[in-house]
Each structure stands twice: as structure tokens, then as C-alpha cells.
Amino acid sequence: MKTSPFLYITITTLLLVTITIMCAMDFPFNWVFYLTVIGQILVVVMVYKVLTDNYSTDKTFEHFYEDHPIEPLDIKAENEEFR
């Protein structure tokens, strides 16, 4: 069964936000420590899953960002010569 990397991103983010809240509420050190170690392991797993995801796109850096697409510009200078 193939799972989306977004699941790993969500779980890791929720765990790390929970650790931040636990630190602010003065939870016992051992709880915070063990959850931090688990969070670090989840960050490594998350990065691995995102980088090994079978994702392809036809976008290039000429397309800028997907949330604000722009068309590539063809600007030619006067007396432009290519080698």
C-alpha cells in the first residue's frame, strides 16, 4: 500500500507542535525528551518519504511558482550574437 508523503508531514508537524505546547505547559522532562527523540526520527522518515516519492512535473524554473504562474519571456537585445 502506497501512502502519501503528506500523511508523514502532518503527523510530524502535529507531534512537534504538541512538544512545543508541552514545553510551555511545564510537562515532565522525560515526556518531552522521549517525544522529541521520536519527533527527530519522524523528521528523518518524513524527509526520506518526500524525497523518494514518485512525483513528476512538466514545470521548470522558467514557470516561476505554481501559485503565481508567469509565461517565460523572450527578450532579445540589439546586436545580440550567440557563439
Beta bridge partners of 64: 69
Q: C-alpha angle with apex 10: 38 to 12, nearest 5 degrees?
A: 15
End-to-end CA distance of the chain: 52
pTM of the model: 0.64
| Among candidate residues 41, 44, 46, the one with its CA nearest the CA of residue 6 | 46
Confidence of residue 62 (pLDDT cuts 50, 70, 90): low
- Give me the residue label for grid cell 512537534: 16
- The model's pLDDT over 19-60, given as tens digits with 9 standing for 90+, comes to 999 999 999 999 999 999 999 999 999 999 988 888 777 767
Confidence of residue 5 (pLDDT cuts 50, 70, 90): confident
